[in-house]
Structure formats: structure tokens, C-alpha cells
Amino acid sequence: MSAADQPIYGRVALIGLGLIASSMFWGMKRAGLAGEVTGYARSQETRDTARKIGLCDQVFDSAQEAVKDADLVVLCVPVGVMGAVAKDIAPALKPGATVTDVGSVKRQVIDDVSPHLPTGVHFVPAHPLAGTEHSGPESGFAELFDNRWCLLITDAETDRTAADNLARFWRGLGSNVDEMEADHHDLVLAVTSHTPHLIAYTMVGVADDLRRVSESEVIKYSASGFRDFTRIAASDPTMWRDVFLNNKDATLEILGRFTEELFALQRAIRQGDGDHLHDYFTRTRAIRRGIIEAGQDTDAPDFGRGSAS
């Protein structure tokens, strides 16, 4: 075996065994990125399921056991509990290990996790921009990260070797990798993910509240627009609760901008300003074309997701 074929990490520990962690495990096995993968989940049921389906080489009943001797520790838990998890595992972390995460908020996670990590343990936050509406250990699949972006959060204090190894690891999982500063990340994600999720939850909630449209009609006649709102709104409620509470400022800023745009469209509709509507929709349509041309989605029916997504 050449040096290029060697695993990047001898042992990887996954803390939390949902969609992202399970997909990471199958992706690591596909690409030979780790010598051994250990896992831990808070729920006994989840641990039992993981053992049953062969998720991780070993599943432990405590997080400290799982991270012992691990070269890479991945926090795959809701952002609201990452600080508590970091405090719990800190005494068992191997000197020189890298700790990372997969949360979609970064500044608050850094503030919560960093104080607990021992000197000599490198924290390189990460955010894979991939997912489905499904959750749990049985929902993962090796291809989840293929041609998706993973953002690494770095600054002048980041250990370059740790960051470079983590970048190689994510590329091995199929991702494109970029680096970004934490506050800028949180603003970008407020635009591209957090506020759209909030709007999707709101639209589905409006349909539920609008008693003039029965539930059976909403389900039976769901056209693609509402159907895809419901797909987004089916995402894990604990995760998204924590996202909004921990990325409050950026989300509120983008939500304010959204409200201003919505008022402008309301005015155009009320006044019959077809030119404004046409120009606006033409501009926003170009964004969609750019996403497709960048290979981040497809113009096929059902957005190319089909029934397996």
C-alpha cells in the first residue's frame, strides 16, 4: 500500500449517529479513509440500531469511551448541546487529536466548544452542505456528500496540518472543500439555508391554519412549490430549533431583508405593476440557473431527488 492509499486517520470517533454521521461512516468505508471508526449516541435505541446494521466498527455506551485514542473526533449532535458534549469528552481526548463538528452554525459552536478542549487538541469546525429530510442511523448513505460543499472554519490560529488533513478527509468523502471565517459563514448560511427553512416552516404552518383549505386538499393537490416546502419543513425539529437560537443575529438580519422584499412584491401585485414582477422573477431565475450550472442541483423533475431522497 502506497502512502497515498493509507487511511488519513487511524481512528475516527463519531459522536451522534444520525444521517450525517452514518453517511460519513459509509463514505469512510467506501474510500478507506480511517483504520477504525467508533461511535456513540445518547439513545440506547440508536446505539442498538447502529450495532444491528453494522454502523461503526465499535459502538460504545459512553462518549468518553468512543473518543479514547481517536485521531479525529466528529461532533454530530445538535448545536445546542455541543458545548456540553465537548466538556464531557475533554478528559478522554488524545493529545494531538483533531476535533471537528458538522453543525450549520459556527460562531456559537466555537464559543461553546473551544473553552473545554485541552491544549494540544486542534479544533477545526466544519459544515457539510448536504442532507435530506430523513434522520436517524438507518438514513445514511455513502454518496450523500458527493459533489457537495464542505466548509471548514479557519483563522490565523488554526493548526494548518490539522486543517489540511481534515480537508483531505472531506474530499475523500466526495466533497468540494472551501474555507471561511465563522461570522461570514453564519451570514451566508442564514441566506442559503436558515431563512429558507424558516419560510418553509411558516408556509406549511399557514396551510395548516387556513381552515378554508382542508388538510386533504392540501395533501391531494400539492403542486411542486408547496410539496418542496413540505420537504424542507420535514427536517429535524431539534436541529432547526437550535440553529435559529444559535444563529439569531444573522437570521434576523436576513429575515428583515426578506420582509422588505416581500412588502415590495405585495405592493407590485396590489398596484398591478407587471414590469416590476417580471424583472424581479427574471433576476431570481438567473440564480436558479447558476445553481444548476454549478452542479449543485438539476433541472430534472423533482429536482432530481426522486423517491429515494
List the 98-101 sheet strands across, edge first: 58-59, 34-40, 9-15, 72-75, 98-101, 122-123
C-alpha cell at 201: 416552516
pLDDT score of 212: 59
Count Cα neighbours of 298 within 13 Å in the Cβ-side half-sphere: 8
pLDDT score of 101: 98
Angle between helices 248-271 and 274-293 (to 10 degrees): 140
pLDDT score of 207: 74
C-alpha cell at 280: 424581479
Check: pTM over 0.85? Answer yes or no: no
CATH of span 8-180: 3.40.50.720
User: What is residue 274's three-state secondary structure?
Assistant: helix
Domain edges within the chain: 8-180, 185-272
Instruction: Count CB neighbours of 304 within 10 A.
Output: 11
pLDDT score of 284: 82
Are 8-180 and 185-272 in the same CATH fold?
Answer: no
Closest C-alpha to 251, from 262, 264, 242, 261: 242
Per-residue pLDDT of the chain (309 residues; tens, 9 = 90+): 434 568 999 999 999 999 999 999 999 999 999 999 999 999 999 999 999 999 999 999 999 999 999 999 999 999 999 999 999 999 999 999 999 999 999 999 999 999 999 999 999 999 999 987 788 999 999 999 999 999 999 999 999 999 999 999 999 999 999 999 999 999 999 888 888 888 888 887 777 776 555 666 766 666 667 777 777 777 778 888 888 888 889 888 888 888 899 899 999 999 999 999 999 888 888 877 887 777 777 665 444 344 433
Instruction: Count CB neighbours of 275 within 10 A.
Output: 9
Q: Which CATH class is domain 185-272?
A: mainly alpha
Q: What is the DSSP string of 217-262?
A: HHHHT--HHHHHHHHHHTS-HHHHHHHHHHSHHHHHHHHHHHHHHH
